[in-house]
Structure 1
Amino acid sequence: MTPKPQLLPLVTGILFCSFCQAQQPLELGSRREIFVDHYLIDRLQNVTLQLHHPRNEGPVLQFDKPWEGNFSGYCTIIRDGELLRAYYRGVRNAGADGNDSEVTCYAESKDGTHWVKPDLGINKVDGSEKNNTILAGEPPVTHNFSPFLDKNPKAKPEERFKALGGTKKSGLVAYASPDGIHWKKMASGSVFTKGLFDSQNVSFWSENEGKYVCYFRTWTGDGFNGYRSVSRTTSDDFIHWSEPTPMTFGDTPPEHLYTQQTSPYYRAPHIYLAIGARFMPNRQVVSDDDAKRLNVNPKYYNDCSDAILMSSRGGAVYDRTFMESFIRPGIGLANWVSRSNYPALNVVQTSDTEMSVFVNEEYAQPTAHLKRYSMRIDGFASLAAPYKGGEVLTKPFTFEGRELEINYSTSAAGELKIELQDASGNPIPGFTLEECPAIIGNEISRVVRWKGGADVSRLSSRPVRMRITIRDGDLYSLKFN
């Protein structure tokens, strides 16, 4: 029989496992770690993983063109150098998924707030080529066309952008583009058929896994029964895809996930973030009289939705550390209708200190639009401690680099300190708490220094732990450079 680990009290007050030195150290390398899961955490004392909520910055893109309409949705935002590109479905009236009236629309912006819908001259809509559509007359792909900027170093210039779109009837159809505006099919038929696809089906090149990954709509029951859920498939060439694998969600209650919007976080691409739409069928908030006043489509106010945050480090596992809403529906009834509050795909940086996520709001109403929400860089969640303070002990890990960079904030009375320990939990001389001056402030990037300086290169590739003390502060991320 394997003996139980003996928990020994440290002088720090954190419990330390006598078997911990046998743990296989994590390999951080020089990757950034954000605190959206417990991957790096061994012990917490009076410290919590705190979910943060993006700030409402108001509507930025109205769906007001005749070919867009009340049911525009399934948005994707891509940063391409200095330009932000938006892609979304346009459709005047609700109808069967993939009907002939659906088009794929395009807009662009330099700051995420001011958007332009260029007259592209690609498709004739309502008798004119003066419109912002990139695809028209190509159902059912236009129902949920979802593109990405291909980071595969072997990607051909004429296939710098790729996309998937389609429904169960068609399967997923692959497209490619050199400029994100002019698109061609990559194969004559569908490239993947083993799903129901009645949502936005997202794909990307995974730098971490070295392959293309697609997360797509499935249901937990047969056909369209059970809960709306997610499965995953991978590909080496974007044409031939593996057998699908249903995603798992740990020991959490099942929920309808209408969209999942999984993509690599741009500052830590080994971590996939899913800012998805949680759908609550038949959870009605809007009354019949309210619906008439809002002028919402009669079929679209019997349910409600909000935005949630999940993460994954590859494979068939989502981490749902946070079951609470990431973005709640706004004040008033206009966003308590069916299929409102659906996040766009991707988080994009919009200033030196800020990143943004975009959300479809006031769905099925004449006021339907895309709204911008902002947050500090890396600011999805943090290790947070109150005024009386707390401590964190990490798992053993190895790193590569000469210095430790953190993203943090404190109150005027708060502070952080960081100690490096060996794998057994012994403070390493030169890097102890006593030798770490209090870290006070609010910075996206701060190099940690001890009395002997910031150079930690002599510990590189050696298993270490980190002890972090926090008082009235937050630690959002860390990275060795």
Structure 2
Amino acid sequence: MKTRFATRTVFVFFSVSILVSIARTAETVAFWAFDEPVGMYPSSVLSDQSPGDHSLVLGPGGGLVPGRFGNALSAEEQPPIDLPPGSVRFGLEQLPTPPDRTVAPMSWMNARFAALATSGEKHLRQEFAFVNVTQSDLNLGAFDWTVEFWFNPKLWHSGDPHGVVFEVGEGPRAENGRITALGLSGDRREFILVNWPSRSKIAIPTDAEVLKEAGNWAHLTFTYEADRGRLRHFLDGRLQADVEPVDLKALDEGEEAYFSLLRDREWAFPLPGAIDEFRISRGLVYTGEFDLPGSLVEDPDRGGSAKPAEVKHPLLFAADSANAVPVNLGGRKHLLIDDVLFPVNQGVTFRPVPPERVELVFEVEGSFRKHLTVIEDEEGRIRIYNPIGRSDRLGVRISDDGVNFEIPELSEIEEGYPNITLADSTGTPSVFIDPLASPTERWKMVSGSGERGIFLFTSPNGFDWTRCPTAVLSSWSGSQTNMFYDDQRGVYVGYHRTDLGDTPTSKTERRFVMTEVDQLSPPWPFEAVSQAEYNRAAQTSRLDGNRPWYLDNGPLTPGGIGIEYPTVFSAIDGFDPESTDIYVPKAVKYPWASDAYLAFPCIYYHYIEAGPPARQALAEESRKRGSGPIEIQLMASRDGINWVRYPRPIWHNIGRMGGMDIHQTYIAHGMIRRGDEIWQYSFNTEEYHSSFRGGPDRKGVFRLVSQVDRFVAAEAPYDVDAVLHSRPLVFTGKRLSLNVDTGASGYLQIGLTQGNGRPLPGFGLEECVYVNGNQQDATVEWLESGSDLSALAGQPIRLVIRMRGTRLYALQFVE
């Protein structure tokens, strides 16, 4: 988290010696804070924090460095790389210069800009639309305007060339001189403003001594008062120049208009230094000399925690504590999702227990995306969030009983979708309630937004959302992020898709990486990975040939996440069928037991160019399928990092349900508890992925009902006894409670021994009264000793569990 000066919210300052006059009518046109992380890759987005949404893309000719407040933009070039072969669309094949042009189209071979917005270069992938700058007030002309920024110059040397602050052009880029540009002379004695429409080239004197000295941040301001033709320049709030009146004019509208920071239209003449908090305003922000402002960022700590994390129950089975003896189980509920507490067993298998029933809740019509989140609000109502409408905006449905969902009237943002909660595109949302946040930011959402990166949104109620202007991750969001607060580690955990992996046939193999942060406020920690490091990683893992991975989408669209964060979810060679991957893991920390993490990955079985011809035949368009079906499996973990997957029985299968023939299932992120039941929800559709069916295909949201804590069972066969031996443990409480199902003809017994394995008189295995039945709270008792274990609390013991025809789901020592 960055520390900033107090936000300036009232534009009036007074000084002992100077009465400052600051206009109240100025409106921000664009404001770039450059607070994305140092080391951020080219093609990543530099967010505009104003309503104008003039986002820029970082180029190979620029980089982020420590700034006056947070970070800053420099014209320092990115490290050189060897470019792999590829396509024109992704900038990896150079098009020739057209006959009517003098400059070759942009590609990774020649894209040496520092920061750019362009309406041209349509041959390249552009997943978000730049604002045409000649149609906006970035096209400075015959109106009052203010340009201001902080500048940290490099040390001056005699013979230095001039440097460009910004250049606005009608386009086509570098094909003409129709520009408005501001630059700094090589001797740093003056700035030069070029305005082609008025045929003006204006020298603006400045303080060269200040601008020749490296390492000191200077505040530079330029104002233009149109009705008087008055152009003025301030350095650190002091007037430097009040030049002769000039009649500036705006550029004509250009179809290929562009805006370049720190370099000109040919990516030459870099500004010698770094700039921070660059703001352009319509109107006169300053009408006279002024005291230096603090940071212009309105709320730099937005999204952060209001109180410190407090870990009351650290993980028992994390990597650094997994072998602790004895296990300090205390009164924690222990789910038998694996054998970590019972490393020795005879005849026991750990098997998933799919939901007992699946029922259609509502059928879906219109634009309704598959990335669902289900959450219980503060009033106990159930909300389902997902992207809806033409632009994938966040919609919500609400229910009291989990079956009947209402569509609330919240907005008029898009006709036919009154339950849209905000205007921003949020195609991959993960909504959760943050226990450490202030009441005004208690609701959080992490989502890709407008294909510009992954952003944090905050809300007091889950209906009124505010986007933090800087991305938390400056990467393309390919699928739903899964986020939650981990109360046993005191961190926020996120799982995010990467498409860097390759199948054996060199197709995309989806994988998910993990982030861990102790504060949600952006940006999150990031360390760039070099091309050499990528190439070394490719020696042990199948990776796409576009390395570094930012090359994937071309120079004008952010690349996806690569190997900057550890991969946690992926297909397993030799375990999964070839060309099978994880679409979304749907990972949660289970709220009703300690040390339990569950994931419900959407497993995508590919048809196209996958496996032998007999498998690929399923992708033939005449078969009316598509690229493949998707099912839900179950995974379990003790720390959210190391996972075990249970592929069969399938947690949520395809096939006939709710009167539909389902071929894709996407379970919602999150779960609801009602009494002794756990409810999950799933978006299911008759379509295959990338369907050839041509419709009409039905789709709906289904409810999946399980008994509480019953996700994996330690299962004993029907025809023979099976035994579990525990590690030494220490407990608190008076009795041992089991969540168990023996059926009518199965049974379970438990014997207690000392930590060293010696018998405990009165608590032997043969003395344990049979546990028989299907119960969520079965008390273990012994013939002579009864069920009271309080005399053994606090001392190491072991459990020996013998069972037959039984499923054991959970155990807990309770009062």
Q: TM-score, normalised by structure 1?
A: 0.81
CA-CA distance at 1:329 after TM superposition? 0.6
1:361 aligns to 2:698 (yes or no): no
Residue 257 of structure 1: how far off its partner (Å): 0.5
Q: What pairs up with 1:247-258 in 2 under 5 angstroms?
A: 247=568, 253=575, 255-258=580-583
Q: Distance in 2 between matches of 1:58 and 1:132?
A: 24
Query: Could you tell me whether the CA contact under 8 Å between 2:683 and 2:702 is conserved in 1?
Result: yes
Q: Does 1:30 align with 2:331?
A: yes
| Root mean square deviation, CA, Å | 2.8
> Is the CA contact (8 Å cut-off) linking 2:679 and 2:704 kept in structure 1?
yes
Check whether the contact 2:589–2:640 (CA below 8 A) recurs between aligned residues: no
Once the two structures are superposed, the pairs formed by residues 164-313 of structure 1 within 5 Å of their partners are 164-166=446-448, 169-185=451-467, 187-193=468-474, 196-221=476-501, 226-239=508-521, 240-243=523-526, 244-247=565-568, 253=575, 255-282=580-607, 288=621, 291=624, 301-313=626-638
Match of 1:124 in 2: 413
1:234–1:203: structure 2 CA closer, same or farther, 3 Å change rule? same
Secondary structure of the residue aligned to 1:458 is helix
- For residue 596 of structure 2, give the secondary structure of its aligned residue in structure 1: strand
Is 1:89 aligned to residue 387 of structure 2?
yes
Give the aligned residue type for 2:682: V
Matching residue within 348, 362, 365 for 2:672: 348
- 2:646 and 2:628 map into 1 onto residues whose CA distance is 25
Aligned 1:319-330 pairs, distance under 5 A: 319-322=644-647, 324-330=649-655
Shift in Å, 1:216: 1.0
- Distance in 1, matches of 2:566 and 2:686, equals 31
- 2:725 aligns with one of 388, 393, 398: 393
Q: Which runs of 5+ in 1 are unaligned?
A: 1-21, 92-99, 292-299
**Any conservation in 1 of the 2:454–2:476 contact (CA below 8 Å)?**
no
1:479 is paired with a residue of what secondary structure?
strand
Q: Is contact 1:157–1:178 with CA below 8 Å preserved after alignment?
A: yes
Instruction: For residues 359-414 of structure 1, give each alpha carbon's deviation from its aligned partner in whole angstroms, at most 9, with x where no partner exists.
Output: 11115554211111111111112112233322111222222322211111112222
Whether the 8 Å contact between 1:248 and 1:317 is mirrored in structure 2 is no
Q: Residues of 1 paired with 2:507 and 2:342: CA distance?
A: 38
SS at match of 2:440: helix
Q: 2:370 aligns to what?
A: 73
Asked whether the equivalents of residues 53 and 326 of structure 1 are also in contact (C-alpha less than 8 Å), the reply is yes
One-letter identity of the residue aligned with 1:25: P
Q: Relative contact order (C-alpha < 8 Å, sep 6+): which is higher?
A: 1
| Equivalent position to 1:427, from 745, 748, 759 | 759
- 1:42 has 2:364 as partner: no
Question: Is the CA contact (8 Å cut-off) linking 2:656 and 2:662 kept in structure 1?
Answer: no
The size of the alignment, in residue pairs, is 427
- Matched residue, 1:107: 397
C-alpha deviation, 1:252, in angstroms: 6.4
**Which secondary structure state, in structure 2, belongs to the residue aligned with residue 341 of structure 1?**
strand
Q: Does 1:54 align with 2:355?
A: yes
2:422 aligned with 1:135, yes or no?
yes
Stretch of structure 1 that moved more, 268-277 or 162-171: 162-171
C-alpha distance after superposition, 1:430-462 (max 9, x if no partner): 321233211112111122222323222333332
What is the aligned partner in structure 2 of residue 9 from structure 1?
none
Q: Which runs of 4+ in 1 moved over 3 A?
A: 222-226, 248-255, 283-291, 321-324, 332-337, 363-366
- Name the aligned partner's letter for residue 393 of structure 2: V
> Compared with structure 1, are the counterparts of its residues 431 and 196 closer, same or farther at alpha carbon in structure 2 (3 Å cutoff)?
farther
Task: Return the alpha-carbon distance in structure 1 between the equivalents of residues 525 and 497 of structure 2.
Answer: 15
1:39 Cα deviation from its structure 2 partner? 1.4
Show CA shifts across 1:290-342 (max 9, x none). Answer: 64xxxxxxxx72211100111222253222254652221123896564xx211
Supply the distance in 1 between the matched residues of 2:757 and 2:751 (Cα, whole angstroms).
Answer: 10
Larger Rg, first or second structure (1 or 2): 2
What fraction of aligned residue pairs are identical, expressed as a percent? 27
Task: Compare 162-171 and 255-264 and name the one that shifted more.
Answer: 162-171
Listed one character per residue, the Cα deviations across residues 123-163 of structure 1 (whole Å, up to 9, x for unaligned) are 4212x7x7111123x12xx211210122x3x3211122111
Q: Which sections of structure 2, spanning at least 5 residues, go unmatched?
A: 1-322, 527-564, 608-614, 688-695
Supply the distance in 2 between the matched residues of 1:257 and 1:34 (Cα, whole angstroms). 25
Q: TM-score under structure 2 normalisation?
A: 0.49
Q: Would the alpha carbon gap of residues 206 and 417 (structure 1) be closer, same or farther in structure 2, given more than 3 Å must change?
A: same
Change (3 A) 1:37 1:241: farther
Distance 1:46 1:314, change over 3 A: closer
CA contact (8 A) 1:286 1:336 kept: no
Richer in strand (by share): 1
Match of 2:639 among 314, 336, 354: 314
Q: Name the stretch that deviates more: 215-224 or 446-455.
A: 215-224
Task: Report the counterpart of residue 18 of structure 1 in structure 2.
Answer: none
Q: Is 2:777 aligned against 1:445?
A: yes
Distance across 1 between alignment mates of 2:595 and 2:347: 29
